[in-house]
């Protein structure tokens, strides 16, 4: 039996329910430990409440949900990249900084896009 394959898969769950539990643990951990995730989720809750109050159309709901889901998903990826970089090196390295900055930049770009989507959808309804 190939030991490399077994070594690479030792963290992989064979149970689908356990995989979902692990994913929820990752989300929960990020929500507890990461300030930016708490900000994203707080703003998302406000946006969802406003969406109900302003009775968005189905298409508007889709854009809002993709904006929220995208930002939260990218924040999770950003956090994972930060953890991996920290695992690989505790010392300052310009490439480690670049990796972290680039991942944060991806989240920032999507967050800005989400704000623009929100303005396009909400501003006419508020005015």
The reported pLDDT for the residue numbered 1 is: 45
pLDDT in tens, 81-120: 999 999 998 899 999 999 999 999 999 999 999 999 999 9
Task: Share the mean pLDDT of the chain.
Answer: 92
| Percent of the chain at pLDDT exceeding 90 | 83
- The structural architecture, per CATH, of the domain 34-126 is Orthogonal Bundle (1.10)
Q: Which active-site residues does the annotation give?
A: 75
User: Which alpha helices (H) appear in 9-55, and where do they start and end?
Assistant: 16-33, 35-53
pLDDT in tens, 20-52: 999 999 999 999 999 999 999 999 999 999 999
Q: How many helices (H) and strands (E) does the chain have?
A: 5, 0
Q: Let me know: does 27 contact 76? Beta carbons within 8 Å.
A: yes
pLDDT in tens, 48-71: 999 999 999 999 999 999 999 999
Q: Show me where the domains of the chain are located.
A: 1-33, 34-126
């Amino acid at each position: 039996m190939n030991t490399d394959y077994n070594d690479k898969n030792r963290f992989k769950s064979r149970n689908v329910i356990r995989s979902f539990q692990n994913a929820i643990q990752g989300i929960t951990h990020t929500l507890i430990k990461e300030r930016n995730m708490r900000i994203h989720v707080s703003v998302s809750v406000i946006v969802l409440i406003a969406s109900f109050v302003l009775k968005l159309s189905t298409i508007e709901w889709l854009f809002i949900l993709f904006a929220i889901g995208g930002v939260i998903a990218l924040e999770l990826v950003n956090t994972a990249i930060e953890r991996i970089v920290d695992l690989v090196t505790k010392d300052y390295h310009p490439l480690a900084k670049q990796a972290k900055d680039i991942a944060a930049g991806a989240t920032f770009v999507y967050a800005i896009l989400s704000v623009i989507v929100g303005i396009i959808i909400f501003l006419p309804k508020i005015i």
